[in-house]
Structure 1
Amino acid sequence: MAYFVSKPIHSTLWPLSLRAKVTSAWIMLTADRRYSSAAGSDSEYLHRSIVPTMHYQKSLPRLPIPKLEDTIRRYLAAQRPLLNNEQYSNTEKLAHDFQNGTGKELHEELVAQDKNNKHTSYISAPWFDMYLSARESVVLNFNPFMSFNPDPKPEYNDQLIRATNMVCSAVRFMKTLRAGLLEPEVFHLNPAKSNTDSFKKFIRWVPSSISWFGAYMVNAYPLDMSQYFRLFNSTRIPKTKRDELFTDDKGRHLLVMRRGHLYVFDVVDRDGNLVRPAEILSHFKYILADTTPAPKFPLGVLTSENRDVWAGLREELLEAGNGEILGLVDSALFCLCLDEEKLLNHIQISHNMLHGDGCNRWYDKSFNIILSKNGHAAIHFEHSWGDGVAVLRFQNEVFKETTEKPLVGPDTQPAAVDSASAVRHLEFKLNTELQQGISKAKQNFDKDVSKLTIDAIQFKQGGKEQLKKKKLSPDAIAQLAFQMGFLRQYGQTVATYESCSTAAFKHGRTETIRPASIHTQCCAEAFVQKPDKHSVEQLQGLLDACSKYHGQLTREAAMGQGFDRHLFAMRYLANSKGIALPTLYQDPAYGAINHNVLSTSTLTSPAVSLGGFAPVVPDGFGVGYGVHDDWIGCNVSSYPARNVHEFLQCVHKSLEDIFTVIEGKPLKSS
């Protein structure tokens, strides 16, 4: 999608499967989390944590800046499989020149700046700036989605019932978070000691300034929760050259979209309590019964535009007298999208939840909960404010609550309230320029999404359990299958990106794992191009080498010891000081390694059925995947420059070959 001390914990303290364990730890928190046995949940809160939500935040360790020589060494190791000997020799010289010259000066200044800003991390401000300064549309370029699993009780997948339950649980999550009662995010290496009421009763009295160390003493590692406050009442506001993040926690209303119309109504009353679920049910029923034709100029599509274009049109909206209405949109808790489509398969779900038709979303909200006509649900979120850890926690909690303790059901009668008065239908004043802008935005949107293809596979011949028995990293094997698949299809190794959270550090964001290595290149070539020239034992040895090296890369990235963020921060520093761009960054090889043809992200959770995102480059693949106990799933997107269907066939064949060798059987020449 991590970890630490006053100085970083030595990696030897962490098992090889660190990232998998950390990832599964926080996505499973809702399944095994223990709350106070004395004070249970009530109608206003999901639960009442013994330990205050932000108890560990002050004492979190700081994100380390790697040594410059380590960064250069790791950078060159990642470049090796992508370059021929001549290219590599040139890149190696430029890298060492940088290390001994301008890079040394930039690194020293970065370290000095970091020492003067101990309240945050060295990557936080540059990373926010990178997102908010991007002028491309947030749709396809940045915003991902994660779809909910269906409710196990089919009758609760009704659009009206599920929307009501999800909104009620979302409000309860928000109230629990803001009251400081939400269980802190903690990775427990020894839950029998740390995830207990007795330890929590002890640690809550340890001062916040040293609480992290108390958790560390029992092998528990709290995670950064600084992004959580942006979950609710937040919106990305378009501005010329650089957008702004807006949050107003006084907003008590929900934004609802249906057929391109926008509605608001209060879901929190004046006393700060959740509005009665039967009233919320009544309001949704009223909105779903609205027969007003879809607007000719659906305003939501503007949020899919180029950011500078949208910034100009927003100014026009304000000048046309829409300031009060835009304020309601921006300050709403979040956006709930009630769609008219019935989604019948994973491909339709992916397209609808990733982009939809452009008219029934407010892409700038911190997140949209989307509900199809037949009850399929997903979260689509804006990416600049956070990296998904908070969103996933929210999704897990909402799924758990709505499936285990739903507040309305098929027999619930809507409250006898005047929904026509409680629900406000937002109507914007649109002049000719705005109408033309909306029409143009819709044309641009349709043109962009028409280029996107999505396909998926489920490999059912093996999964996590079988790989772990052979002491192989499930994530490493999945990544190897992508390398093998691409080599089989296109005959080359390309830049590959895998995101790894650094949430174990204060204001950590992400670091990059570089799965394409000399080990995966060697292994892929043996499997794809020369299977008959290697024995089963030799191929097994190559798999083992890939697994171990990937484990090393994962540990380093999770500990803030990758190279991508360090190089990015130094480049950002040079640019901010007006220093000429160092030759390292002008090297075509630097551009190529950051042109991530394979952009990948993994996710498994009891709440999530699948996730997805678009490629980050025109000739790339967007690879969402999950390694489950006995199967492996891939949800992949591409533009016309690549054939996603063929790629997935090649990945499937690669997985077949890998599991054949794992089982001790020889490969047949293809």
Structure 2
Amino acid sequence: MLRAGVLCPARRHLHPALPVPKRLLSTSGRVLVSVHQLGDKMPPLQTPAWHDWRMNVPSATPPDSRMLRNQGEDKLPRLPVPKLEDTLARLERSCEPLVQDSAQRKKLQSKLQAFGRPGGVGAKLQQLLERKRDEPGVRNWLARDWDEQAYMAYRDSVVVNVSYYFGFDRFPQAPAKTANPPAADPAFVAASIVKTALEFRRLVVKGLLEPELNNPRNPNDGEQCMESYKWMWNACRIPASPADYAIKTREDDPAAQYFVVAKRNRFYHVPFADANGEEYSVDAIRKAVQQVIEAAEGERDAAPPVGIMTGIHRDRWAEAHGHLVSSSPTNVATLRSIHHAAFLICLDEAEPQPWSGTRELEQWSKVLWTGGPEGGNRWWDKPLQWIVYRNGEVGCIGEHSCMDGTPTARLNDFLTKRILTGEPVSSSSASSAAPAIKPLPFELDSTSRQHVADAEKEFAAHIEPYDVHYTMYKRYGKEGIKKMKTSPDGWCQMLFQIAYYLTFGRPCATYEAAQTRRFQLGRTETVRILTPESLAFVRALVDPSSSVSTADKLALFRAAIAHHGKDMKLASSGSGIDRHLFGLKMLAATSSELTDAERKEVLEGDGLFADPVVKESGTWRMSTSQVYIRHAPVYGWGPVVEGGVGLPYMIHPHELQLSVSCQRGVPGADFIKNFERAADMLMDLHAEASREQAHV
């Protein structure tokens, strides 16, 4: 469904409650100044309280608008806490395919029974979690811990580990019906993106965007939480200690009506509206972007890549960021301009050739995903960055600490359809003269220059080990799968199980994201794809010595698909396994109401959370997520464990699109071949079953 939340808990560290910096408090402990409303002053270098930055986000969207009128505390329900016995039963079942022998099975069962016994530590943790759910003012019991632990307290680079990318079909390089259009005009492409993105932004700001439905086939099933759209524009992640946070400027703030362009590591402020608030035309914005290109290329050398520091370890970025702030008022002004900007346009020197062949498309995918040699021509902390290459190719980078993949997929689907179908953008009464660009310089002393140099080395070493592999499987897509009376998503998940088994000779814990946006502040839950049913089917299909009949193989497939559908519904309804376990584990690690002995009982030794099978069952060696953008043949993000594979996919009407991201040495190319083989095997199985049935 989406990328959100696929970062593996095994790569997280539980942090204690985060302190509120004293500079934001009065003597009574009340917040004096919002971190979002500091004007030209820098936000704090220490982490504010979660509620103060996350729940008080400025937004120009009217609360009674179409977009938000069915949202909020009195409209959407709170995220439930599943029953402990239900979660433990589902956990045991999900561990079954990974159990090695009867002794390991008995140990696991003993730990599950101990954790779930009445009056035990598990029951105590469950009561604490239910009490947390019911506290006044708590709209979602999971929200704070998930924001902090899955994203903001995570200290590794956001590049590879958090950010995701889309690459688009080639955009027009000139207005429709232009005589002798240029082969490439990145300034025009950038202007087209800006103008079309602003159309979508206007829908959000005015509250005209239709809320997404929990079930598009049944509107009566309700609308999804639209809270995350507040973080789409004029927002930025802030490096801080001990955890990051995010800030946001209201979209209608007169001081926020601009975007930032990065070119050759230099940053430029470009207004998109005049003094009367009227948006500039595409031609006017194109002229401004062209001025940026000429200004940056007029400099003798590229600037030091300050932006690359946003892509390194968060503690080192926080340290370098603190020095930038303290060493120069110019740096403060530039940083604040980047923070307030609606979004970034990054103009790169590279000229990818993605349409020359699969290998070239894979190379473009990695460059788009990581920035490659131009990783400093970014500000990786911004939620939205569109990349425009010198030859006019286009992609988008999303940072999803506060906003999951579905909103940005919806935005980019809107944008690409408008641009590629030639629909005219809205008219503008502003002057056609180019808006005035303004350089946003950094002043770097010797310490900052050393920080940048160190960051360049760290960044290069960080992205070097990764590769991307790709296929657009063309035998069939969604329409062909539906003819088999099967969920297209469930079908693809079984293909991944088959392909992994063919590639590695064993099963593995597999993540798929489900949305929980039917609840207040809902984000995601895990669907555990590896089940006894899926493994039984895969072995029957793949094992050459299998004597299982075609009809029985098909029956096993149907059982696996049915279980997948059931688990998806449970996850979407807030009754999944993993967020519940996460909440219990957080309380076990941090609650003052547990004794040290109780804490050790569940977290160490023979404790449930220390059990090797339980750990392995939540270690996502396959991490999968689907979005759909009609004109995005490139889509991806990184694996979430060492030696794992990331599997971003799209199900087109007549094709299946798959990227495999992995470290070098992991057989990603073999996985692609085995995915294609699996797709053939599964359709052939259905065809064979149909032939056999016809002869009965």
Q: Same fold, TM exceeding 0.5?
A: yes
Q: Give yes or no for the alignment of 1:109 onto 2:128.
A: yes
Corresponding letter in the other structure for 1:400: K
Partner residue of 2:326?
A: 319
Partner residue of 1:181?
A: 208
Corresponding letter in the other structure for 2:110: K
Aligned CA distance change for structure 1 residues 457 and 261 (closer, same or farther; 3 Å): same
Shift of 1:232: 0.9
> Percent identity between the aligned chains?
27
Partner residue of 1:206?
A: none
Partner residue of 2:260?
A: 255
Corresponding letter in the other structure for 1:330: H
Q: Give yes or no for the alignment of 1:626 onto 2:650.
A: yes
Return the alpha-carbon distance in structure 2 between the equivalents of residues 152 and 266 of structure 1. Answer: 23
Shift of 1:666: 11
Per-residue displacement from partner, 1:371-421 (whole Å, max 9, x unpaired)? 222333222111211212221222222223334433499xx9x977466xx
Partner residue of 1:229?
A: 230
Partner residue of 1:640?
A: 664
Per-residue displacement from partner, 1:481-523 (whole Å, max 9, x unpaired)? 2212221222111111111111111111100011111111111
Please show how residues 268-283 of structure 1 align to structure 2 within 5 Å: 268-283=273-288
- 1:190–1:219 CA contact under 8 A, matched in 2: no
Return the alpha-carbon distance in structure 1 between the equivalents of residues 571 and 170 of structure 2. Answer: 34
Among 282, 290, 298, the residue aligned to 1:285: 290
SS of 2:196's equivalent in the other structure is helix
Return the alpha-carbon distance in structure 2 between the equivalents of residues 664 and 281 of structure 1. Answer: 57
Partner residue of 1:656?
A: 680
Among 188, 192, 201, the residue aligned to 1:161: 188
- 1:260–1:294 CA contact under 8 A, matched in 2: no
Aligned CA distance change for structure 1 residues 353 and 408 (closer, same or farther; 3 Å): farther
Partner residue of 1:27?
A: none
- 1:48–1:181 CA contact under 8 A, matched in 2: no
Aligned CA distance change for structure 1 residues 531 and 188 (closer, same or farther; 3 Å): same
Among 617, 623, 626, the residue aligned to 1:593: 617
SS of 1:369's equivalent in the other structure is strand
Aligned CA distance change for structure 1 residues 278 and 585 (closer, same or farther; 3 Å): same
Corresponding letter in the other structure for 2:288: H
- Which stretch of structure 1 is more off in the superposition, 658-667 or 339-348? 658-667
Among 76, 80, 87, the residue aligned to 2:96: 80
- Which stretch of structure 1 is more off in the superposition, 276-285 or 503-512? 276-285
Aligned CA distance change for structure 1 residues 364 and 50 (closer, same or farther; 3 Å): closer
Partner residue of 1:606?
A: 630
Return the alpha-carbon distance in structure 2 between the equivalents of residues 155 and 172 of structure 1. Answer: 18
- 2:80–2:133 CA contact under 8 A, matched in 1: no
- 1:512–1:557 CA contact under 8 A, matched in 2: yes
Corresponding letter in the other structure for 1:223: Q
Q: Give yes or no for the alignment of 1:385 onto 2:402.
A: yes
Return the alpha-carbon distance in structure 1 between the equivalents of residues 487 and 221 of structure 2. Answer: 23
Among 299, 304, 310, the residue aligned to 1:303: 310
Partner residue of 1:457?
A: 471
Per-residue displacement from partner, 1:429-475 (whole Å, max 9, x unpaired)? 11111111111111111112110011111222222222222222222
- 2:347–2:390 CA contact under 8 A, matched in 1: yes
- 2:325–2:332 CA contact under 8 A, matched in 1: yes
Among 112, 131, 150, the residue aligned to 2:170: 150
Q: Give yes or no for the alignment of 1:351 onto 2:366.
A: yes
Aligned CA distance change for structure 1 residues 408 and 272 (closer, same or farther; 3 Å): closer
Aligned CA distance change for structure 1 residues 296 and 257 (closer, same or farther; 3 Å): closer
SS of 1:227's equivalent in the other structure is helix
Please show how residues 115-154 of structure 1 align to structure 2 within 5 Å: 115-117=134-136, 120-130=139-149, 131-151=151-171
Q: Give yes or no for the alignment of 1:542 onto 2:556.
A: yes
Please show how residues 385-404 of structure 1 align to structure 2 within 5 Å: 385-403=402-420, 404=422
Number of residue pairs matched? 592
Return the alpha-carbon distance in structure 1 between the equivalents of residues 424 and 242 of structure 2. Answer: 45
- 1:265–1:424 CA contact under 8 A, matched in 2: yes
Corresponding letter in the other structure for 1:663: A
Partner residue of 1:405?
A: 423
Corresponding letter in the other structure for 1:62: R
Shift of 1:480: 1.4
Return the alpha-carbon distance in structure 1 between the equivalents of residues 426 and 392 of structure 2. Answer: 15
Return the alpha-carbon distance in structure 2 between the equivalents of residues 293 and 226 of structure 1. Answer: 45
Per-residue displacement from partner, 1:590-625 (whole Å, max 9, x unpaired)? 322222110111122324333101111121001111
SS of 1:285's equivalent in the other structure is helix
Return the alpha-carbon distance in structure 2 between the equivalents of residues 611 and 287 of structure 1. Answer: 28
- 1:77–1:517 CA contact under 8 A, matched in 2: yes
Corresponding letter in the other structure for 1:145: Y
Per-residue displacement from partner, 1:137-180 (whole Å, max 9, x unpaired)? 00001111123333479877842222112111222322332222
Q: Give yes or no for the alignment of 1:172 onto 2:189.
A: no
Q: Give yes or no for the alignment of 1:616 onto 2:645.
A: no
Shift of 1:243: 0.5
Shift of 1:182: 2.5
- 1:189–1:219 CA contact under 8 A, matched in 2: no
Shift of 1:95: 1.8
Q: Give yes or no for the alignment of 1:469 onto 2:480.
A: no
Per-residue displacement from partner, 1:80-106 (whole Å, max 9, x unpaired)? 111123222212221221122212111
Corresponding letter in the other structure for 2:493: Q
Aligned CA distance change for structure 1 residues 507 and 383 (closer, same or farther; 3 Å): same
Corresponding letter in the other structure for 1:99: G
Corresponding letter in the other structure for 1:247: K
SS of 2:660's equivalent in the other structure is strand
Aligned CA distance change for structure 1 residues 595 and 220 (closer, same or farther; 3 Å): closer
- 2:503–2:670 CA contact under 8 A, matched in 1: yes
Aligned CA distance change for structure 1 residues 448 and 125 (closer, same or farther; 3 Å): same
Corresponding letter in the other structure for 2:590: S
Return the alpha-carbon distance in structure 2 between the equivalents of residues 361 and 423 of structure 1. Answer: 18
- 2:266–2:303 CA contact under 8 A, matched in 1: no
Per-residue displacement from partner, 1:294-318 (whole Å, max 9, x unpaired)? 4352111000111010001001001
TM-score where L is the length of structure 1 = 0.83
Return the alpha-carbon distance in structure 1 between the equivalents of residues 487 and 407 of structure 2. Answer: 26
SS of 2:688's equivalent in the other structure is coil
TM-score where L is the length of structure 2 = 0.80
Please show how residues 326-365 of structure 1 align to structure 2 within 5 Å: 326-345=335-354, 346-357=361-372, 358-365=375-382
Aligned CA distance change for structure 1 residues 276 and 604 (closer, same or farther; 3 Å): closer
Please show how residues 30-109 of structure 1 align to structure 2 within 5 Å: 52-58=66-72, 59-84=75-100, 85-100=102-117, 101-109=120-128
Return the alpha-carbon distance in structure 2 between the equivalents of residues 86 and 666 of structure 1. Answer: 43
SS of 2:227's equivalent in the other structure is coil
Return the alpha-carbon distance in structure 2 between the equivalents of residues 270 and 152 of structure 1. Answer: 30
Corresponding letter in the other structure for 1:331: H
Aligned CA distance change for structure 1 residues 51 and 184 (closer, same or farther; 3 Å): farther
- Which stretch of structure 1 is more off in the superposition, 238-247 or 158-167? 158-167
Return the alpha-carbon distance in structure 2 between the equivalents of residues 408 and 164 of structure 1. Answer: 13
SS of 1:533's equivalent in the other structure is coil
SS of 2:333's equivalent in the other structure is helix
Corresponding letter in the other structure for 2:140: S
SS of 2:82's equivalent in the other structure is coil
- 1:135–1:241 CA contact under 8 A, matched in 2: no
SS of 2:363's equivalent in the other structure is helix
Shift of 1:238: 0.3
SS of 1:633's equivalent in the other structure is strand
- 1:161–1:408 CA contact under 8 A, matched in 2: no
Question: Where does the alignment leave 5 or more consecutive residues of structure 2 unmatched?
Answer: 3-60, 177-183, 355-360, 692-696
- Which stretch of structure 1 is more off in the superposition, 436-445 or 589-598? 589-598
Shift of 1:51: 5.7
